[in-house]
């Protein structure tokens, strides 16, 4: 018997969000991560004949949870949300925290708490596939804004992502990579740039990114191995450097 094939589908919503649908082809089952809107996700599930086994949430922002109630009531799937967002996401069925191991519809995840963008932000790590569903922490050549957490927290959260295996694929929620590329180029042109990354790596990144985006293909999932070489926020050597970069990026 051929092994069951599983894959991650990207359903674009709004301007630049992706909802991730994890599909188990053998069982025709699916999980959904951060459905900011229900309609596009529901039609994808129906078109593919998939039954929804669970909804995973990384944090409470409306572009990540906006479609949850509707999906939950149409498909009666359990909702997993960060323990620290118990007040904001009171309708969840199971609250998760650092170190929890959860098993949903044939997929297993370890929960990582990654505060900074919000205080309760979590990521879901699938060890078998080396998939990380990381919401708004790391982006292509960038990182999330700090709405609730401190620079120290965000820096440490990024360090934790950095310490995952190099072959990790990072499923981040937003298609911000091209905008972040401009920031990286500006940064490498500074006389006193604090970051020394891999310039050839960045040039290759740009070439591939331009090709993909001109074909309307996503830049997600990110390859952690590559981000570690070129993403300035992963190259920052300490909190001070990280803070400097994040503040500079805010001004853009």
Task: Specify the stretch interacting with Fe ion by CB under 5 A; choose among 42-50, 67-75, 130-138, 208-216.
Answer: 130-138
Distance of closest approach, residue 64 Cβ to Zn ion, in angstroms: 6
227 makes contact, choosing from Fe ion, Zn ion, none, with CB < 5 to 8 Å by partner type, with none
Count the site residues for Fe ion by CB under 5 A. Answer: 2
Instruction: Point out which span in 59-67, 98-106, 107-115, 232-240 binds Fe ion (CB under 5 A).
Output: 59-67
What are the E-state strand segments in 114-205?
122-126, 131-135, 138-139, 142-143, 169-172
**Residue 239: strand, helix, or coil:** helix
Task: Fill in the DSSP letter of residue 238.
Answer: S
When the beta carbons of 75 and 176 are compared against Zn ion, the nearer one is 176
Residues 46-65 that bind Zn ion (CB under 5 A): 61
Q: In the complex with Zn ion, which residue's Cβ is closer, 35 or 197?
A: 35
Give yes or no for a cis peptide into 2 (omega within 30° of 0).
no
Residue 72 three-state SS? helix
User: Which tokens go with 221?
Assistant: 């999932």
Shortest Å, Cβ 117 to Fe ion: 8
DSSP 85: G
Q: How many C-beta atoms lie closer than 10 Å to residue 70's C-beta?
A: 15
175 forms part of the interface with Zn ion (CB under 5 A): no
Q: How far is the CB of 237 from Fe ion (least distance, A)?
A: 27
Of 37, 63, 113, 227, the one binding Fe ion (CB under 5 A) is: 63
Under rule CB under 5 A, residue 121 binds Zn ion: no
Among positions 37, 136, 175, 227, the unique one binding Fe ion when judged by CB under 5 A: 136
Does residue number 136 form part of the binding site for Zn ion (CB under 5 A)? yes
- Rounded distance between C-alpha atoms, residue 243 and residue 49, angstroms: 46
Of 136 and 227, which CB lies nearer to Fe ion in the complex structure?
A: 136
What residues form DSSP beta bridges with 171?
133
Q: Assign 3-class secondary structure to 133-192.
A: EEECCEECCEECCCCCCCHHHHHHHHHHHHCCCCCCEEEECECCHHHHHHHHHHHHHCCC
Minimum distance from residue 109 beta carbon to Fe ion (Å)? 20
63 versus 175: smaller Cβ distance to Fe ion: 63
Contact positions vs Fe ion (CB under 5 A)? 63, 136
């Amino acid at each position: 018997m051929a092994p069951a094939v599983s894959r991650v589908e990207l359903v674009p919503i709004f301007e630049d969000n992706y909802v991730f649908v994890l599909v188990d082809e053998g069982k025709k089952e699916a999980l959904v991560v951060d459905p900011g809107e229900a309609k596009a996700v529901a039609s994808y599930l129906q078109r593919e004949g998939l039954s929804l086994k669970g909804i995973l949430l990384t944090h409470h922002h409306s572009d990540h949870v906006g479609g949850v109630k509707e999906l939950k009531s149409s498909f009666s799937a359990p909702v997993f949300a960060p323990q620290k967002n118990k007040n904001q996401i009171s309708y969840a069925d199971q609250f998760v925290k650092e170190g929890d191991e959860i098993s949903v519809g044939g997929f297993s995840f370890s929960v990582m708490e990654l505060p900074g963008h919000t205080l309760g932000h979590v990521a879901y790590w699938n060890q078998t596939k080396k998939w990380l569903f990381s919401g708004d922490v790391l982006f292509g050549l960038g990182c999330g804004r700090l709405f609730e957490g401190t620079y120290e927290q965000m820096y440490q959260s990024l360090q934790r992502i950095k310490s995952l295996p190099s072959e990790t694929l990072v499923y981040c929620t937003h298609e911000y990579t091209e905008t972040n590329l401009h920031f990286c180029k500006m940064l490498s042109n500074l006389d006193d740039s604090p970051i020394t990354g891999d310039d050839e790596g960045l040039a290759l990144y740009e070439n591939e990114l331009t090709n993909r985006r001109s074909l309307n293909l996503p830049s997600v999932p990110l390859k952690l191995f590559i981000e570690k070489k070129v993403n300035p926020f992963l190259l920052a050597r300490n909190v001070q450097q990280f803070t400097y970069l994040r503040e500079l990026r805010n001004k853009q």
